[in-house]
Amino acid sequence: MALTPGYVGGTLAQRTDLAGQRARARAITLPAVLGGLFGAGLLLLAGEDLFEALVPWLLLVAAVLIGADRWLKRWVTGRIAAHDAAGGGTAPAAIAAFVGSTYGGFFGAGLGIILLALYAQVVPESLARINALKQLTSFLANVTAAAFLLFSGKVVWSAAAVMAVGALAGGVLAGRYVRRAHPSVLRGVVVTIAVAVALVYLLK
């Protein structure tokens, strides 16, 4: 729940990069909402051991996908252009939104990395525009999961309030910076953070 303000700030900061992606944004809305709801339900059902076991491996897979984006995206972009030129990859994007949002509803931290990795393989756009789509998906999934968990009795409100302030500031700053960042630099930062977080979990 504490991450929700960050996703709001990030989405607003990058709203200009959503221009021209209306069809894609509509296509991912319902899958993102359903994924967030499904992930939140899994969070309540799963035990702590399963939770901690899955997170580092998901982050490492995302790091590999982001790092190999330059080569993978050439093949994927050509395939999308041949099979879904009119829709711009709306169907694959919807599937990616559900998968990523399920993870987001289950564990919000690292959601941006997962979504960037998924969208980079199926959306023929620049990294900045993919990031804007990621922000929208994160917002939808997180708000849905937060609304579901709000009535679960599991929220530690004191911790959530402190984290919410930081998440809001970070989302706004990141959304503004990404449009000016060189794609290679941005990719390197994302991969580094993903690997570092994964190692922290593996070494705990």
The DSSP string of 76-90 is HHHHHHHH-TTTTSH
Per-residue DSSP letter, 17? G
Min mean pLDDT across 38-52, 69-83, 181-195 is at 69-83
The alpha carbon of residue 92 and the mean position of all alpha carbons in its chain are separated, in whole angstroms, by 15
| pLDDT at residue number 99 | 95
User: Which residues of the chain form beta strands (DSSP E)?
Assistant: none
User: If you average pLDDT over residues 157-170, what whole number do you get?
Assistant: 67
> How far does the chain reach from its first CA to its final CA, in angstroms?
24
Identify the pLDDT of residue 13: 62
Task: Quote the domain boundaries for residue 102.
Answer: 4-203
Residue with more model confidence, 169 or 44:
44
Q: What is the pLDDT of residues 87-143, one digit of tens each?
A: 456 888 999 999 999 988 887 766 777 888 888 778 877 777 888 888 899 989 988
- pLDDT at residue 153 above 80? no
Contact 90, 24 (CB under 8 A): yes
Write down the residue that tokens 């959503």 correspond to. Answer: 18
Q: What is the pLDDT of residue 49?
A: 76
Nearest Cα neighbor of 134 from 47, 11, 45 is: 11
Domain tally, the chain: 1
pLDDT, the chain, mean: 77
